[in-house]
């Protein structure tokens, strides 16, 4: 049961904007959870909210605009400028592939819609991107964390916490 709760937690973390698979997978591996299920649940959590965001993009844009007006704040210029430079240089594939690491995949999807990508194109490229990052980070975490644990003789902070003497 504890393992199910851990994977649900991984799914929720990955589904949270700005907590990308790039960060969640190594955390899950460092916790001592098997990397393959962590990678799968992280991918599913991250892509689920991205696809939901794309599907509900018009409503999200209206909500974000109301929220900004209510708080009297302008959107983050630094991230928007970075995304615009990516868009001009690499187009939709570049924004999709680089956003999980540079600006966040959720923001990347929103900005891609703002720059003129279609929902279908954005969904395809974001899925390719999140899947690719998940596999790369999963492989890196598997070998990196495994090496770390072999050097330290530990099994992960979650395993250590759950151990009963």
pTM tops 0.75, yes or no: yes
- Work out the burial of residue 21: count CB atoms within 10 Å of its CB; fewer than 13 is exposed, 13-18 middle, 19 or more buried: buried
Cβ-contact 86, 102 below 8 angstroms: yes
pLDDT in tens, 82-141: 767 777 888 888 888 888 888 889 988 988 888 878 899 999 999 999 999 999 999 999
The more confidently predicted of residues 54 and 81 is: 54
């Amino acid at each position: 049961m504890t393992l199910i709760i851990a994977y649900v937690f991984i799914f929720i973390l990955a589904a949270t904007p700005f907590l990308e698979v790039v960060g969640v997978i190594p955390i899950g591996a460092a916790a001592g959870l098997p990397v393959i299920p962590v990678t799968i649940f992280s991918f599913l959590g991250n892509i689920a909210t991205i696809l939901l965001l794309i599907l509900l993009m018009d409503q999200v844009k209206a909500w974000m605009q109301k929220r900004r007006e209510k708080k009297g704040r302008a959107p983050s210029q630094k991230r928007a400028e970075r995304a615009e430079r990516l868009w001009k240089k690499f187009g939709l594939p570049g924004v999709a592939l680089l956003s999980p690491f540079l600006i966040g995949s959720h923001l990347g999807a929103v900005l891609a819609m703002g720059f003129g990508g279609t929902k279908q194109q954005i969904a395809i490229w974001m899925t390719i991107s999140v899947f690719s990052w998940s596999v790369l980070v999963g492989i890196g975490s598997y070998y990196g964390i495994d090496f770390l644990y072999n050097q330290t003789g530990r099994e992960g902070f979650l395993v250590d916490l759950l151990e009963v003497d």
